[in-house]
A and B are shown apart, each in its own frame.
Chain A
Amino acid sequence: MRWIWIDKFVHFESRTRAVAVKNCSLAEEHLHDLYPAFPIMPHSLIIEGMAQTAGILVGEARGFREKVILAKVGRATFHRLVRPGSTILYDAVIEQLNDTGASIAGQVRFANSSKDRTDQLMEPGELVAEIEIMFSHIDQNLAGTKFPEHNFVFTEQFTELLQTYRSGLDIKL
């Protein structure tokens, strides 16, 4: 099973900001699990999607050498439900980044559709959620705890998947 909750990046500014797209389909089982007669994208998985968008942004900032772990969800405020057929945008901005970790201010918005645009997914629409999250570079943890040398966050499978994002993006993976 692949625990990937974003479909592609549509914007990537190294060390600064990333925007990823998630298409929510009725074919996805998790939409049916929370309320069987009323399928929605669970809030917890929206937070996970933001964490993956932001986690890759934070990881790329250090050439994927650090083990970037979601350490804390400081605040998550939801304004709208996400129903099947919706496309949402995860917009993650790095507020702070240092040796020990990073803090992120994130917004989730519906993607507006437009018949006139080929890059319609770039159009941010109504606000779905505001999410503040924090990441730790766990090898730099304050307690000095040692972790395995192997980078179990950005695994080979994960970095292979990231190669698909390279097309159209000016980032080095």
Chain B
Amino acid sequence: MTREEVQAKVVKVLVDALGVDEDEVKPESVVRDDLGAESIDFLDIMFRLEKEFGIKIPKGEMMVEGLATDPSLVSNGTLTAQGLKLIEEKMPHAAAELVVLKQDPKLDNVSKLFTVNSITNYVMTKLG
């Protein structure tokens, strides 16, 4: 499957999960900020990706979990150097988004890693 085909299916998943119009969904769209996803929608999106592509998404693989509860990773609401390093290691599919996050590494901005582009990258790695 080509990247374009994967991205088209990712867009379909987001349209179905979030009730947005297809033309609203751009490669750089941030799922939370631009498409209005709430926290529970991320679970819905993962279920739909698994079904659409026939893949399994292990817990914490597409998005690092538990950052907020580990003081070595987040201090005063901001990611520590260790936290950023962990994201860099665990989420290579979001390398481009991480560059932006590093400019303002607040915990609340971690969801900006979740874009159409990074989801497509992730699925591409899963499909081999």
Contacts and interface: CB of A to CB of B under 8 A. Distances in A.
B44 interface: yes
Interface in A56-84: 71-72, 74
B47 A140 contact: no
In the complex, which range does the number of interface residues on chain B fall in? 10 to 19
Contacts of B128: none
A142 B68 contact: no
B17 interface: yes
B63 to A, nearest CB: 7
Contacts of A106: none
Most B Cβ at <10 Å: residue of A98, A99, A142: A142
18 contacts: A72-B40, A72-B44, A95-B47, A96-B51, A98-B59, A99-B59, A100-B43, A100-B46, A101-B43, A103-B44, A134-B44, A134-B47, A136-B40, A140-B59, A142-B42, A142-B63, A144-B66, A144-B68
Most chain A CB inside 10 Å of its own CB: which residue of B40, B63, B66: B40
A142 B44 contact: no
Interface residues of A, number: 17
Contacts of A72: 40-41, 44
A4 interface: no
Interface of A: 71-72, 74, 95-96, 98-101, 103, 134, 136, 140-144
Contact of B68 (A96, A99, A143): A143
Given A95-B51, A96-B50, A142 B69 contact: no
B39 A100 contact: no
Given A74-B17, A99-B59, A100-B59, A142 B47 contact: no
Given A98-B59, A143-B39, A143-B65, 16 more contacts: A71-B40, A71-B44, A72-B40, A72-B44, A74-B16, A74-B17, A74-B44, A96-B51, A101-B47, A134-B47, A136-B43, A140-B59, A141-B39, A142-B65, A144-B67, A144-B69
Contacts of B16: 74
Contacts of A95: 47, 51
Interface string B82-123: 000000000000000000000000000000000000000000
A97 to B, nearest CB: 10
A54 to B, nearest CB: 14
A74 B43 CA distance: 12
Contacts of B39: 141-143
A170 B69 CA distance: 42
A71 to B, nearest CB: 5
